[in-house]
Amino acid sequence: MNLKTTASTLLIFGLLIPAFSIAQQLTTSDSIDVFLKNKMQQRHIPALQIAVVRQGKIIKNASYGIANLENTITATDESIFSINSITKAFVGVAVMQLAEEGKLKITDPVSLYVDSLPVTWQKITLQQVLTHTSGLPDILDADEQVMGHGDENQALQQVKVLPLEFNTGDKFSYNQTGYVLLGKVITKLAGMHFTKFIEDRQFKIAGMKLTRFGDSYDVIPNYAGAYTMTKQVGDQFIRNKTPGVGYMQFPVFFRTAAGILSTATDMGNWIIALKEGKLLKQKTSIETMWTPAILNNGKIGGFNKLTNGYALGWPTVTREQHPAAGPVGGGRSALFVYLKDDLSIVILTNLMGSNPDQFIDEIAGYYIPEMHEANGFGLSADAQKLRLALLKQGFNNAALVASNLKKKNPQLNLTENELNGWGYQLLNQKKADQALSIFKLNVTLYPKSANAYDSLGEILELTGNKIDALSSYKKSLALNPENKNALDRIKALSNE
């Protein structure tokens, strides 16, 4: 679902909502605590911080778990987490601050401010590097290390000899080179190093007392660390990340791309300062900053189905219902500012791969109930029509209900992947009967899909119907002889 974000839809200042009673807030807060503790257990997250912003205030901030596993140090609201690439959102604000001062225009070519760029880079604009649509070669090498061994000049010399990866504006491709160039632009126009400009014009103004730039070479009090899950001899455990992956090495010149450490409370205060006009004075500046780039083909591009667009340093969740500006960092931290709702949520963790962006919407559902996954949020408009019809007519009639909907609306599009994903959502919600109906519908609509039959086999097996499960796995294997899961389950069920 594409949605052009315009001034009319970015209702970010002064939006009023009904006030929650103290009792309602406490109940909501308790429910979120339970949800997050379960999520931490499911995803093996050692420590997590949350801040929820509403009506210009942080209405919830909490910390859970263990910040430092080596010394069993409990996480507190003063535990400091790396926000990784959320740093780029601060760069977006910094660029727009300079734009408000008339020192640049985002449509200016980078070459106007940075000398000695290759000829093929000359016309690339600030906007294109901010939105990762430049086509620039990446300053990270094959091992995800910054080129130049920490030396800025050497790094730039190495990356400048590489060809453009694609025609500027053709697609979205996450790229760190442009942010190194932006650091040089900010430093030149601000009259001070970009780190000091961001500290003075954002950290200090927003009251971010614990926020700083740094990496693993710096001594960082109350640092929550960086961990990952790994497997060894079949056992799953958590360990410190190795150099180049979680051992943070962010040379100073690279710290526009990733380099800020913060707390959820500080990040919440930053959002408040941004929305109250303390960081950017003009509403149009924020609207511009949160508008995703339009590619040469007229579409938008982003990381995935959820964060499906990218604006000026800010990934966007571009959708009709509850769109958001949603910076994410290192697979461990996320921040969603809901553009049509007076709600912002910050989640910071110390586990690479915890991907809190995947469950922030569910937290939002505790404040905006229609956003709960159990209420159909996240399904396409067509799948939501099917859901409503099934709730009225019964999930056991799924095939007939879908057929009737299709007769009324031949354009109705129920995709295999979405139905499959919805089935597993229902299973996670402990609605096995409804899940089974959706998986059965999927094989009815897509009878040549090995994956659809494989998923049906799994739900049939889980619900105790081993005979039909075996039959479904055999159909899946016949459609795709390389389906190892189906082959393994057939062997296991045949031997029982």
At 318 the three-state DSSP class reads coil
Coil, helix or strand at residue 324: strand
pLDDT recorded at residue 7? 31
| DSSP class of 164 | P
What pLDDT digit, counting tens, does each position of 77-106 carry?
999 999 999 999 999 999 999 999 999 999
User: What pLDDT, in 10s, does the model give residues 13-34?
Assistant: 333 334 455 555 557 778 999 9
Contact of 130 with 312, CB cutoff 8 Å = yes
Lowest mean pLDDT among 56-65, 151-160, 246-255: 246-255
* 63 closest CA partner among 73, 54, 51: 51
- Lowest-confidence segment of 11-20, 201-210, 486-495 by average pLDDT: 11-20
Decide if 114 contacts 253 (C-beta within 8 A). Answer: no
Would you state the structure tokens that stand for residue 254, as one six-digit string?
Answer: 């690279």
Q: Is the pLDDT of residue 391 over 60?
A: yes
Beta bridge partners of 373: none
pLDDT at residue 21, rounded to an integer: 55
CA distances from 19 to 23, 24, 53, 55, 360 (A): 11, 10, 13, 9, 21
Query: 474-493 burial, b for 16+ CB within 10 Å, e for fewer?
Result: bbbbebeeebeebbebbeeb
Who contacts 153 (Cβ-Cβ below 8 Å, separation ≥6)?
Answer: none
Whether residue 260 contacts residue 212, with contact meaning beta carbons closer than 8 Å, is answered with: yes
398-to-239, 288, 384 alpha-carbon distances in Å: 46, 44, 13
Q: Pick the residue with more confidence: 141 or 483? A: 483
Quick one: pLDDT at residue 10?
30
Cβ count near 269 (within 10 Å): 22
pLDDT at 11: 31
Nearest to residue 144, comparing CAs of 97, 195, 85?
Answer: 85
Cβ neighbours of 345 (radius 10 Å): 28
Q: What pLDDT is stored for residue 308 in this prediction?
A: 96
- Is 204 in a helix, a strand, or coil? helix
Please give the mean pLDDT across all residues of the chain: 90
Sign for the CA dihedral angle at 196, 198, 199, 204 comes to positive
Phi, psi for residue 355 in degrees, rounded to 5: 45, 65
Q: DSSP string covering 414-467, please?
A: --HHHHHHHHHHHHHTT-HHHHHHHHHHHHHH-TT-HHHHHHHHHHHHHTT-HH
